[in-house]
Structure 1
């Protein structure tokens, strides 16, 4: 998942008052099952899955081996990779349920991680190091603890002979962290939709947030996300000698277009998820921001409430589609008038809006027929928000109350993006599961010295195990 989106979501949630549950003392001696899980987690973290030097295929093969040791048959395991991308493969595993009528559930996780250079890190980024109550290494936070938990759940159920009512499927894929890489979730959705078909899926994107001092202040369940799309803005000119400048300049024209994008604000839009988010979070606050949250949840046209909320960057993004210039390129010589200039505009599109609608709006806002606006591949599917289904949210709320008394479960919409968007496109609603927690600083995900609280890993594993088993027994 995109780290900045995680960090901003974290800042939004920890802004709530301290309806807090103590995160607990340091871990004591591990239970035998936790010792086994730690070894699985360590093996996965220490398997390099960066695009440059790693192999998701190897990680998938290792996870398949664990499942085979637990009793899975070859017919229940599908390892996949394409000839063009042999190291970017993945795994689908299926634990068959008792019922022939209840639809399966799917556990989704990406194996790939962001690049990490040893010379930049305090510790080896591909060695799991436990220090001061944290696990340090690339992938400890994003998202190999959840990957290992999914594998652990299926392995333990098979070892113990448990046969759930609902079939449980697992898809571990590659390519989530790199825009132009082969994406396993996208490939499965387009090429093997029957293999991963499910009534719903659980993914990253949810989880708790601490106050940074050992107290969990909230838990969230992700119910929807924005779509990510890039657009190229281009200007053209015959150019000429720089000693005879003219106003008709490709760089000036591009600058004018970018300024118009900067000054345009997409209208406020609410989904069922964001309306519930602002209503529930607003009710827990006794300040002006809380009042604005309650007001906007009742009336999206409340301009004063929108203005107040928009002073917070994360809330601003949750209220609307956003577009921002991220790359520039122009000219061909320092003594020549530019013949061509381009900018990349990165848009995060609110669910329900299409990439074509946003393209049309950018064209309208710029209002210059000489400016070319085009979609930059890959062109992702539109964001399809899942329903706020009580059958999904209800059991999660009960478990949050059990594990974190007094801590609210808040439905949230990610302003970043996950692989869930590819599953939603083929009719599988995807929910970011609660369970563990992160710190307000983002835990170094995508950055240096990535870490995850040891207690968060083990408590999160117990939580997710119970949540999956609960869903697996529902009609």
Structure 2
């Protein structure tokens, strides 16, 4: 990309960003490169990759065909799947760097999407529809927007004859959205770590947020995430006839355990990322909550500040491990004392915390040896927080000033989880990059009528293209 072209793209992007909304039936005019990108994006979005009836393998093969058309050799493309999961495959592509001593960077995204029922949606969830300045479809945001951007970047780089200093790798995988499904990122980490070996990876989890009225208010870089672990709480009892009840009841015993869990608070913890987040985000608020966030960043033992920060459910979760009951079962007949009762407890473990530690804390909180607490497979790796690396944060901040003037870039720790945890387990730090943005209502991600703003996708694409090149030339 020439400097003149880069400047033209940035100017167009800022102009697009400044426009707060499109007319209801007036799609924004796209540049020729954006028209080509939209075709790739549309094909990917309209390829059903839900676990029930879709095929990530098909999506990966389509991306592979586009990369070959752009000039990639067969030796630089790896399509993978396993015999027992033939539709849950993925793709890895490699653009060799000019400096053999420079470590690679990895572009990571997932191809699979959450289930979507046509009867529940206003529009066909697997047909890309543009209305009122938004693209509507399942996966339009999560995560096919990023997958399409990475695939488009790789194709354009190859077509332009771009020779980066670092090798650029791309891994598009399946299984991120379903805990019990085959996970392509985990499979690569365990079986083909050579394919994805990199100094660091760029992934979902970051991005911007608007005020709900078209104004971008912040951008975030995800630096670390929690680990997901489910536990089965179970109580057992001989049971008997319901006409002669006794206090020793499996449902009552489980209920007592759940009430103790409801009031149990895991201890406060901080990483370098969360400390920086609370200091920076708090200073920008100019209210009592903001002051408490700043105070807590300075002194994590400040109980008064913690009490105020805990009033925000998101901030409360960022400060500790959380566990919550999500599923319940019990009994076997209307006229019988229950012989068994069980609950699923979903935990989001703070970085560095192990399954064994969390299990022990839950047992101590319940204080009843009659309640068995068992980890539910799969058991994920311990969450390893990446460093707040200036080599990663610096280019992201500088380019944000270019594309999103006046919008801060704040490091955050996700309270959710991504496939990054599998790569971090083998020593590859993973960062959820800024770029495309969403609205405060969540844009229907994982829910009905998922959407992404057209300018968010297009400007975010330009930003991420420049960001990849900035990292590739380090």
- Using structure 2 for the length normalisation, give the TM-score: 0.95
Distance in 2 separating the partners of 1:379 and 1:254? 24
Consecutive unaligned residues of structure 1, counting only runs of 5 or more, are 1-20
- Are the structure 2 counterparts of residues 23 and 420 from structure 1 closer, same or farther at C-alpha, using a change threshold of 3 Å? farther
Corresponding residue number in structure 2 for 1:284:
284
**Residue 193 (structure 1) shift:** 0.7
Distance 1:292 1:228 in 2: 28
1-structure distance, mates of 2:161, 2:59: 26
TM-aligned CA distance change 1:25 to 1:374, over 3 Å: closer
Q: Which residue of 1 aligns with 2:435?
A: 435
The answer to whether the Cα contact below 8 Å between 2:103 and 2:198 also exists between their aligned partners in 1 is yes
| Per-residue Cα deviation, 1:141-189 (whole angstroms, up to 9, x for no partner) | 1011110110111111110101100000000000001111100001111
Q: Which residue pairs with 1:17 in the alignment?
A: none
- How much does 1:29 deviate? 2.0
Question: Residues of 2 paired with 1:329 and 1:34: CA distance?
Answer: 51
**SS state of the match for residue 182, structure 1?**
coil
State the SS of the aligned residue for 1:356: helix
In structure 1, C-alpha distance between the alignment counterparts of 2:44 and 2:417, rounded to whole Å: 23
SS in 2 for 1:344: strand
Distance 1:308 1:457 in 2: 36
Count of residues in Structure 1 that have an aligned counterpart in Structure 2: 454
Measured after TM superposition, the shift of residue 447 of structure 1 is: 0.7
Q: Secondary structure at the match of 1:220?
A: strand
Q: Which residue of 1 aligns with 2:10?
A: none
1:147 equivalent in alignment to 2:147: yes
Partners of 1:214 and 1:328 in 2: CA distance: 41
Contact 1:110 / 1:176 at 8 angstroms: preserved in 2?
yes
2:433 and 2:19 mapped to 1: Cα distance? 18
Given the alignment of the two structures, is residue 68 of structure 1 paired with residue 57 of structure 2, yes or no?
Answer: no
Secondary structure of the corresponding residue to residue 417 of structure 1: coil
Q: What secondary structure, in the 3-state scheme, does the structure 2 residue paired with 1:464 have?
A: helix
For 1:331-350, list aligned pairs within 5 A: 331-350=331-350
- For 1:218 and 1:236, how far apart are their aligned partners in 2? 50
Three-state SS of the structure 2 residue aligned to 1:421 is: helix
CA contact (8 A) 2:400 2:409 kept: yes
- Give the C-alpha shift of residue 25 in structure 1: 5.2
Partners of 1:346 and 1:28 lie apart in 2 by 43
SS at match of 2:406: coil
Q: What is the correspondence of 1:288-307 to structure 2 with a 5 Å cutoff?
A: 288-307=288-307
- Partners of 1:226 and 1:119 lie apart in 2 by 34
Alignment of 1:32-51 (within 5 A): 32-51=32-51
Distance in 2 between the 1:193 and 1:317 partners?
A: 32
Alignment match, 1:8: none
User: 1:368 Cα deviation (Å)?
Assistant: 1.0
Tell me the SS of whatever aligns to 1:265.
coil
Tell me by how many angstroms 1:436 deviates. Answer: 1.2
What is the aligned partner in structure 2 of residue 171 from structure 1? 171
TM-score scaled by structure 1? 0.95
CA contact (8 A) 1:117 1:125 kept: yes
Distance 2:88 2:110 in 1: 11
Q: How far did 1:30 drift?
A: 1.2
Instruction: Tell me, yes or no, if structure 1 residue 322 matches structure 2 residue 322.
Output: yes
Contact 2:21 2:133 in 1 (8 A): no
SS at match of 1:79: strand
Q: Distance in 2 between matches of 1:53 and 1:377?
A: 24
CA drift at 1:407 = 0.8
Partner residue in 2 for 1:406: 406
Contact 2:323–2:346 (CA under 8 A) maintained in structure 1 = yes
User: 2:199 & 2:470 partners in 1: Cα distance?
Assistant: 15
Which residue of structure 1 lines up, in the alignment, with residue 258 of structure 2? 258
Deviations 1:51-100 (A, max 9, x none): 11110000000000000000001100000000000000000000000011
Q: Measure, in 2, the Cα distance between the counterparts of 1:118 and 1:47.
A: 15
For the pair 1:186 / 2:190, whether they are aligned, the reply is no
C-alpha offsets along residues 241-269 of structure 1, whole Å, 9 cap, x if unaligned?
Answer: 11111111111111111111111101111
Deviation at 1:379, TM superposition (A): 0.4
Output the aligned Cα RMSD. Answer: 0.9
Contact 1:104 1:199 in 2 (8 A): yes
1:4 aligned residue:
none
Give the aligned partner of residue 15 of structure 1: none
1:229 paired to 2:236: no
Q: Secondary structure at the match of 1:449?
A: coil
Deviations, residues 108-161 of structure 1 (Å, cap 9, x unaligned): 000000111111111111111111100010000101111011011111111010
Tell me how far apart the structure 1 counterparts of residues 461 and 87 of structure 2 sit (CA, whole Å).
28
Q: Does 1:80 align with 2:80?
A: yes
Question: Contact (CA 8 Å) 1:174, 1:185: kept in 2 or not?
Answer: yes
Q: Distance in 2 between matches of 1:158 and 1:366?
A: 58
Q: 1:358 matched to which residue of 2?
A: 358
**SS at structure 2 position matched to 1:346:** strand
In structure 2, the residue corresponding to 1:467 is in which secondary structure? helix
